[in-house]
């Protein structure tokens, strides 16, 4: 009861911040919506853009890999009456204010300590004592702002349908992984979506591809948990399913959604038994089952029907420079934009496979407390973090992974990924990355389990030493 009261209190505090922001937004007619190039950033922008569109307010969307001084200069050059930053901005509040930008920041990353610099409105779960890594995503923050805009216009509740996008953004930001389900402020938004009839949630297998992949492919590509004897082995997965008594298909391969409840139960039971016999811990096997999220207004058997598959589809657009395609998909285009997105998704999947092969060939270098690989220009800087997270299937899970990639501008992009076990042991990658980046003349930030930075190429070794030292202190204490 006490936890529920605390969450309700934080939710109310954030809504009050959103009401202040909504009042500022409604005073302007030429708005710039600036967001990040990932699933959470796209859904954040789509939520705000849809809310503005419904109010008849003109807006222009703009997306960045990372918000730095150069990016802020481009924002300023647009000369908008007001800038709404979604899924970024909290780490650059001082710089935003120093440029004289009239801005509303709706973010969930750890804010910079700039007490003397305040935008017109700053909405962030950290400001009310919540955790932006698990309690609320950028799209969730944007949803609260959209709700406040509707309330200010006298149409309270008309944007409740946008809660579905907020769930997609939260899942894309991996906020359901820590406990196997969305929690905190995300839970409040999920309940709103459920009542609005746009999203449902239930316990099911957590493996990726329930809507679109053949069941044997879903098992083959399982990474978390890694299934010994099955992950990465198509023939073994087919044989396993046949042994369980699962019919694989007739005219087309059967997907998870095509199986009966009895068949699903048989597969899960057999997976648990096989995992235990192979020495997989109970804790890891528990990750097989968790909460899944279905978007009820989307067509069954398509990527947007499942929050996890939808977020991957979106990552395949913005991370390759096609944020406009992803934004149109989020805002309802199921024709041309959706077909473009699916084409990009196929390319994205191949790029991830190639990235994993590259890391496997080059190897991962261990340091005292961290491990890293340098992809150079062989892996795009916008997807190297995804590859880093996937590398835990072949890396040491007792240390976080740092991945380096060269940006088009010639800088080094660094993406860091940890595990929830490491976070429970004290890991805070946002603190480690931001501190080390600042020390070498770069910028960085993010969350405790996943963070990023951009640094000068010549500072690579110094940066590694600083992060290694900081992480060592975090884990030892």
Q: Count of H helices and E strands in the chain?
A: 18, 13
- Contact, 145 vs 26, CB < 8 A? no
**Cα-to-chain-centroid distance, residue 338:** 20
Q: State the SS3 of 237-299.
A: HHHHHHHHCCCCECCCECEHHHCCHHHHHHHHHHHHHHHHHCCCCHHHHHHHEEEEEEECCCC
Residues of the chain above pLDDT 70, percent: 98
- Which residue, chain included where needed, has tokens 């089952």? 289
Q: How far apart are CA 118 and CA 122, in angstroms?
A: 7
- Contact, 143 vs 169, CB < 8 A? no
Let me know the angle formed at the C-alpha of 222 by 221 and 225, rounded to the nearest 5 degrees. 160
In the chain, where the domains are located? 2-198, 211-293, 363-476
Task: Look up the pTM and report it.
Answer: 0.88
Check residue 1 and give its pLDDT.
Answer: 46
Q: How far apart are CA 109 and CA 102, in angstroms?
A: 20
Residue 426 CB coordination number (10 Å): 13
Strand partners, 36: 64
Q: How far apart are CA 148 and CA 165, in angstroms?
A: 16
Direct distance between the N- and C-terminal alpha carbons of the chain, in angstroms, rounded to an integer? 31
Q: Would you state the structure tokens that stand for residue 449, as one six-digit string?
A: 């389990």
Backbone phi and psi for residue 374, each to the nearest 5 degrees, phi listed first? -120, 115
Is the previous residue joined to 225 through a cis bond, with omega within 30 degrees of 0? yes
Averaged pLDDT, groups of 10, the chain, 477 residues long: 80 94 92 96 98 96 91 94 96 91 94 73 94 95 98 92 98 90 96 98 95 95 79 92 92 94 96 87 81 97 97 94 97 97 94 92 96 96 91 85 94 93 91 95 88 95 97 92
146-169 burial by CB neighbour count: b if 16+ within 10 A, else e? bbbbbbbbeeeebbbbbbbbbbbb
Q: What class is the 2-198 domain?
A: alpha beta
- Options 3.10.310.40, 3.30.920.30, 3.10.450.50, 3.40.50.880; which CATH number does 363-476 get? 3.10.310.40
Q: Give the strands of the sheet with 58-64, arranged side by side.
A: 58-64, 30-36, 82-86, 103-106, 121-123
Check residue 225 and give its pLDDT.
Answer: 73
Check residue 249 and give its pLDDT.
Answer: 86
Dump pLDDT digits (tens) for 439-454: 999 989 888 889 999 9
């Amino acid at each position: 009861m006490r936890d529920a009261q605390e969450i309700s209190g934080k939710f109310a505090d954030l809504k009050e911040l959103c009401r202040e922001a909504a009042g500022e937004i409604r005073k302007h007619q030429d708005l710039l919506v600036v967001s990040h190039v990932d699933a959470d950033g796209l859904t954040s922008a789509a939520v705000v853009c849809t809310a503005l569109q419904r109010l008849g307010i003109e807006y222009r969307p703009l997306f960045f890999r990372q918000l730095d001084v150069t990016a802020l200069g481009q924002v300023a050059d647009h000369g908008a009456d007001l800038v709404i930053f979604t899924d970024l901005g909290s780490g650059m509040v001082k710089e935003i204010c120093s440029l004289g930008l009239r801005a509303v920041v709706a973010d969930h990353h750890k804010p910079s300590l700039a007490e003397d610099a305040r935008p017109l409105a700053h909405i962030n779960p950290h400001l009310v004592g919540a955790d932006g890594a698990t309690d609320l995503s950028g799209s969730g923050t944007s949803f609260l702002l959209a709700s406040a805009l509707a309330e200010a216009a006298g149409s309270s509740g008309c944007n409740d349908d946008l809660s579905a996008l907020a769930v997609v953004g939260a899942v894309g930001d991996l906020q359901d992984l820590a406990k196997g389900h969305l929690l905190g402020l995300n839970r409040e938004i999920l309940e709103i979506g459920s009542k609005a009839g746009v999203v449902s949630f239930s316990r099911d297998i957590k493996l990726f591809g329930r809507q679109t992949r053949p069941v044997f492919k879903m098992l083959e590509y399982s990474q978390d948990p890694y299934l010994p004897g099955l992950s990465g082995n198509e023939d073994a997965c087919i044989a396993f399913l046949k042994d369980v008594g699962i019919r694989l298909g007739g005219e087309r391969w059967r997907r998870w959604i095509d199986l009966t409840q009895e068949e699903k139960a048989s597969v899960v039971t057999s997976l648990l038994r096989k995992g235990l016999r192979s020495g997989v811990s109970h804790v890891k096997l528990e990750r097989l089952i968790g909460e899944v999220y279905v978007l009820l207004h989307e067509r069954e058997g398509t990527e947007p029907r499942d929050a996890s598959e939808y977020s991957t589809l979106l990552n395949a657009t913005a991370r390759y420079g096609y944020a406009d395609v992803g934004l149109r998909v989020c805002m309802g285009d199921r024709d041309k934009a959706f077909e473009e997105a699916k084409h990009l998704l196929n390319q994205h999947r191949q790029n991830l496979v190639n990235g994993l092969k590259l890391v496997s060939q080059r190897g991962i270098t261990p340091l005292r407390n961290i491990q890293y690989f340098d992809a150079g220009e062989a892996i795009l800087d916008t997807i190297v973090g995804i590859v880093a997270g996937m590398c835990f299937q072949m890396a040491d899970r007792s240390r976080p992974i740092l991945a380096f990639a060269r940006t088009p501008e010639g800088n080094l992009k660094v993406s860091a990924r940890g595990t929830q076990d490491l976070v429970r042991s004290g890991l805070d990658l946002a603190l480690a990355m931001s501190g080390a980046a600042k020390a070498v003349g770069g910028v960085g930030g993010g969350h405790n389990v996943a963070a990023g930075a951009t640094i000068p190429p010549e500072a690579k070794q110094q940066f590694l030493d600083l992060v290694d030292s900081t992480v060592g202190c975090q884990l030892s204490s």
